Amino acid sequence: MAEKKFVVTPWEVTGEVDYDRLIRDFGTQPISATLAKRLEGIMGDSAYLVKRGIFFSHRDLNMVLDDHEKGKGFFLYTGRGPSGPMHIGHILPFYFTKQLQDKLHVNVYIQITDDEKFLEEKRNLSYEDTQKWAVENILEIAAVGLDPEKTFILQDTEFVGHAYPLILKIARKINYSTAKSVFGFTGETNVGFSFYPSIQILPSLLEKKRCLIPSAIDQDPYWRIQRDIAESLGFHKAAAIHSKFIPPLTGMADKMSSSRPETAIYLTDDDKTVKNKIYKHAFSGGQSSIEEHRKLGGNPDVDVPFQWLYMFFEPDDQKIEEIRTEYKKGQLLTGQLKDILVEKVTRFLHDHRERREKARDRVHLYKKDGALAREMWKHDFSKS
């Protein structure tokens, strides 16, 4: 059987991703119906991202839930590489993380990898660029509204010096051939990258409890290495819950790309831009004329406006299934489906922006002055 070509690495996602094959290739577990139900029992309605398979794969999620139920607790870790403005796909794991924190009151660590984005030469970012994007991205993340006393945003170029003793212990456990085979380093890769995995692993070892990492599946290679070394350092293997990529507006293949603005909706896009992008560029599974559409109906599986509603913007199960049925039957037209999405996205962005303005005064709590941030800056990492 001919397998379709696609690539998923921490630095590149191209082609139409076959998620079942990724589970096999990466050696992760699909989220079973039983496990999804268990999470639903804990998260309530906010589990829709799991129920609908946006978060579709995991490592040791059941053990995290066991620890939670036994009162041992756990913590969450996620991150962002500040390489440019954030779009809808970038912010989704943060909203999911917030829903988990709201329900379970756990600590959250958010790593801002300005170092990683500087090292990625292909991106051509100056050091100043990475600092500027770090500031802007942190504000978007602050807008999500995580608990400032239980959330620590660590920006690598500021924090890794403080945590260096623990980073060294991590680095000494990872040999070059492992890193090379996991990440595909070549003779041309700069040496910063050889060391960088130790830095992305650090936040998973900030507590002696189990760590659950919500992230897109492309970050899993780091967690594979983490799981090989964590126990020998006296910590738990990281657990992970992996999401799919929200498809670009322009069609189901590849992922949203900052270099092609029409493929994505940015958190900073104004109402007019949102409308324009969706009406002009969103790939439709509808028919070419209204008559045809009424007769044959649309195909929600390839229709990006439908997929965006399903994957994020319409949490109400009954509503989304109504939309699916009406669209398939041709009762709902492409333009009307796009109207629904425009309305949802516009409202989401309005709310997000309002929260962003209020968040400005909270950033220092996440980075320095909140209870968890203070604890981390005080911690003596030579004793980790």
Interaction site with ligand TRP (CB under 6 A): 10, 77-81, 111, 113, 116, 200, 213, 215, 219
Q: How far is the CB of 242 from ligand TRP (least distance, A)?
A: 10
261 C-beta neighbours (distance < 10 Å), count: 17
Cβ 269 to ligand TRP shortest distance, Å: 20
The DSSP string of 140-151 is HHHHT---TTSE
Question: Cβ of residue 365: shortest distance to ligand TRP, in angstroms?
Answer: 21
Nearer to ligand TRP by Cβ, of 213 and 278: the residue is 213
Say how far apart CA 176 and CA 174 lie, in whole Å.
7
Q: In the bound complex, which residue of the shown chain has the CB atom lying closest to ligand TRP?
A: 79
CB of 81 to ligand TRP, least distance (A): 3
80 vs 362, beta carbon nearer ligand TRP: 80
- Please report, as a single letter, which amino acid is at residue 307: Q
End-to-end C-alpha distance for the chain, whole angstroms: 50
The CB-of-280 to ligand TRP minimum distance in angstroms stands at 28
By C-beta, is 129 or 339 nearer to ligand TRP? Answer: 129
Closer of 116 and 303 to ligand TRP (Cβ): 116
Q: Is 288 helix (H, G, I), strand (E, B) or coil?
A: coil
Are 340 and 305 in contact by the 8 Å Cβ rule? The answer is: yes
Instruction: Report CA-CA distances (Å) from 175 to 9, 36, 246.
Output: 20, 36, 34
Rank residues 258 and 268 by Cβ distance to ligand TRP and give the closer one: 258
Nearer to ligand TRP, 221 or 300 (CB): 221
* Nearest Cα to Cα of residue 252 among 284, 220, 222, 227: 284
Pairing of the two strands 29-30 and 55-59: antiparallel
To ligand TRP, the closest distance from the beta carbon of 59 in angstroms equals 13
Task: Judge whether 142 and 363 are in contact, CB under 8 Å.
Answer: yes
Q: Which is nearer to ligand TRP, 224 or 275 (CB)?
A: 224
Please report how close the Cβ of residue 80 comes to ligand TRP at its closest, in angstroms. Answer: 5
- Report the alpha-carbon distance of residue 92 to residue 185 in Å, rounded: 29
**Contact assessment for residue 266 and residue 256, using Cβ atoms and an 8 Å cutoff:** no
Query: Least distance from C-beta 112 to ligand TRP, angstroms?
Result: 8
Smaller CB separation from ligand TRP, 6 or 193? 193
Q: Would you list the DSSP string of 182-216?
A: HHT--TTS-HHHHHHHHHHHGGGGSSSSEEEEEEE
If 0-12 CB within 10 Å is exposed, 13-18 middle and 19+ buried, where does residue 256 land? buried
| Least distance in angstroms from the C-beta of 270 to ligand TRP | 25
Nearer Cβ to ligand TRP (54/282): 54
The DSSP string of 42-78 is HHGGGGHHHHTTSEEEEESHHHHHHHHHTT--EEEEE
